[in-house]
């Protein structure tokens, strides 16, 4: 399985991505980023606002997924924010279409679960996946997620909700 490391995207990098300035975003992140990240502008707008509201969120969200070794940005991942009042974090990741079906989603998920498991405040990891997203359902298989219900997301519509207890 390929190795992945995450590079934190500080507010300056998020702002540059929102502005479509790949060069400035790469400089602020300290690593060459990709056009795919620029194309995800809608997400960086949300994450920049999250960090402005709660600076602690920066340690949980908005990271570029980089191959290790290799240093190629293949997507992004993180969580929707820090642990909630119950210790739950929701995982989020996306692989650049040019790099899909090469094991990067599972590598990202494995790294994110390791991050969550390392924090004693985290009691569980949540994943929300549209029922028609067979790729994402296959990605979480084997990582201990169990379907606990459904929810309606205003952007994505119906989603299945999965939960995985944190591992000590």
pLDDT 10s digits, 116-151: 999 999 999 999 999 999 989 999 999 999 999 999
Tally of structural domains, the chain: 1
Residue 25 neighbours by CB under 8 Å, 6+ apart: 9, 13, 14, 16, 17, 33, 37, 38
Range of the domain at 80: 4-165
CATH code, domain carrying 49: 3.40.630.30
pTM above 0.85, yes or no: yes
What percent of the chain clears pLDDT 90, i.e. is strictly above it?
86
Q: Which residue do the tokens 């992140």 mark? A: 29
C-alpha 98/C-alpha 88 separation (Å) is 32
Summarised one tens digit per residue, pLDDT across range 85-108 is 999 999 999 999 999 988 899 999
């Amino acid at each position: 399985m390929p190795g992945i490391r995450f590079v934190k995207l500080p507010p300056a990098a998020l702002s540059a991505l929102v502005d479509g300035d790949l060069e400035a975003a790469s400089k602020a992140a300290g690593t060459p980023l990709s056009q795919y990240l620029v194309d995800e502008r809608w997400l960086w707008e949300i994450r920049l606002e999250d960090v402005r509201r709660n600076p602690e969120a920066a340690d949980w969200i908005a990271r570029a997924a980089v191959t290790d070794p290799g240093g190629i940005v293949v997507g992004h991942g993180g969580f929707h924010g820090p642990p909630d009042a119950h210790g739950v974090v929701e995982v989020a990741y996306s692989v650049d279409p040019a790099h899909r079906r090469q094991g990067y989603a599972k590598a990202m998920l494995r790294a994110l679960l390791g991050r969550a498991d390392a924090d004693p405040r985290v009691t569980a990891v949540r994943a929300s996946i549209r029922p028609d997203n067979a790729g994402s359902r296959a990605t979480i298989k084997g990582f201990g997620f169990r379907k606990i219900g459904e929810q309606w997301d205003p952007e994505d519509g119906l989603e299945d909700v999965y939960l995985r207890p944190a591992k000590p």
